[in-house]
C-alpha cells in the first residue's frame, strides 16, 4: 500500500479520527519532502520525526487531530506558532485561505520556507522569530495553532490577535505531559476552554518579562 494511504488509514482505523477534510488534505501532502534526507525512510511512520536542531515534526495523528480541532472551512486566516518542518503549515494551507507561521529557529524557518515555496504552497507565509509576540501585521486570525508545548499560560498577545468566535489550539501544562486544549474567544472577552487528552511536545520557548 502507498505509504501516504497507509498513514491516513492508520489515523482513521487505529486512532478513530474520521474527518474526510483533514484526511484528504493529508493525502495530498508529501510528508517525506519536509524531513531531512536521512529521515525520509521513516517520514510516514506512526510517530514524530527528528528534523534537526533538537526539534521534531509531530506524529501524523497529532497533526490530524490538532487540524481537526480548528474546524476550518476554507476561508480562514490561520496563525501557526512553531513552523518546524513546515508540514503542519502545508496541511493547513489546503483547509484555510491564508496561513501565517512563525518559527524561532532561524535555520528551520528558512528551510521550511524553501520547501513550501518549491512545492507551491503559495498561501503559506513563514517568518523567523518568537511566536510569543504574535504576528500583528496580519491579525486578527480566525484560528491559532501552537505546535510546541506551553508550560504555564498562553501568551496574552495571541488571544489579542484572535477574532471573537475564533479558536486557539495548544498543548499546555507543567512537565512532560501536555493537555491538548482548545480555547474559544467569546464575545464578552472571556474564553471557553476544552481539554482533549495528553500529548508530548517539544517545549514552547518563552521569554520571561
Residue 14 touches ligand SAH, criterion: CB under 6 A = no
Segment lying near ligand SAH (by CB under 6 A), choices 10-18, 39-47, 84-92, 159-167: 84-92
Q: Which three cell numbers stand for residue 41?
A: 525512510
Q: Where are the alpha helices (DSSP H) in 136-185?
A: 156-160
Residue with cell 471573537: 164
Quick one: which of 70, 72, 102, 162 contacts ligand SAH (CB under 6 A)? 102
Residue pair 12/22 in contact by the 8 Å Cβ criterion: no
Q: Compute the distance between CA of residue 155 and CA of residue 25 in angstroms, rounded to an integer.
A: 29
For residue 72, the Cα-to-chain-centroid distance in whole angstroms is 13
Least gap, CB of 188 to ligand SAH (angstroms): 29
Residue 171 touches ligand SAH, criterion: CB under 6 A = no
The residue from 9, 20, 50, 58 that is catalytic is 58
Residue pair 50/56 in contact by the 8 Å Cβ criterion: yes
Instruction: Report the SS3 class of residue 116.
Output: helix
Residue 67 touches ligand SAH, criterion: CB under 6 A = no
Nearest to ligand SAH of 183, 204 (CB atom)? 204
Residue 130 touches ligand SAH, criterion: CB under 6 A = yes
Residue 202 touches ligand SAH, criterion: CB under 6 A = yes
Quick one: which of 60, 131, 166, 171 contacts ligand SAH (CB under 6 A)? 131
| Torsion 107-111-114-117 (CA) sign | negative
Total residues at interface with ligand SAH (CB under 6 A): 23
Residue 58 touches ligand SAH, criterion: CB under 6 A = yes
Distances (CA, A) of 175 to 53, 163, 179: 21, 30, 11
**9 is annotated as an active-site residue:** no
Q: Which residues bind ligand SAH (CB under 6 A)?
A: 55-58, 81-82, 84-85, 87-88, 102-105, 108, 130-132, 147-148, 202, 204-205
Amino acid at each position: 500500500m502507498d505509504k501516504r494511504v497507509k498513514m491516513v488509514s492508520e489515523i482513521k482505523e487505529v486512532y478513530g479520527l474520521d474527518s474526510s477534510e483533514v484526511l484528504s488534505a493529508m493525502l495530498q501532502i508529501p510528508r517525506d519532502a519536509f524531513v531531512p534526507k536521512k529521515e525520509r525512510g521513516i517520514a510516514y511512520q506512526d510517530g514524530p520525526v527528528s528534523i534537526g536542531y533538537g526539534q521534531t515534526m509531530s506524529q501524523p495523528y497529532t497533526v490530524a487531530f490538532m487540524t481537526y480541532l480548528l474546524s476550518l472551512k476554507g476561508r480562514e486566516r490561520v496563525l501557526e506558532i512553531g513552523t518546524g518542518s513546515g508540514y503542519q503549515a502545508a496541511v493547513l494551507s489546503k483547509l484555510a485561505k491564508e496561513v501565517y507561521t512563525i518559527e524561532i529557529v532561524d535555520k528551520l524557518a528558512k528551510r521550511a520556507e524553501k520547501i513550501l515555496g518549491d512545492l507551491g504552497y503559495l498561501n503559506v507565509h513563514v517568518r523567523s522569530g518568537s511566536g510569543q509576540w504574535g504576528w500583528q501585521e496580519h491579525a486578527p486570525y480566525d484560528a491559532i495553532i501552537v505546535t510546541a508545548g506551553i508550560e504555564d499560560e498562553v501568551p496574552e498577545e495571541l488571544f489579542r490577535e484572535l477574532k471573537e468566535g475564533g479558536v486557539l489550539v495548544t498543548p499546555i501544562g507543567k512537565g512532560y505531559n501536555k493537555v491538548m486544549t482548545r480555547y474559544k474567544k467569546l464575545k464578552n472577552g472571556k474564553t471557553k476552554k476544552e481539554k482533549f487528552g495528553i500529548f508530548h511536545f517539544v517545549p514552547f520557548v518563552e521569554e520571561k518579562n
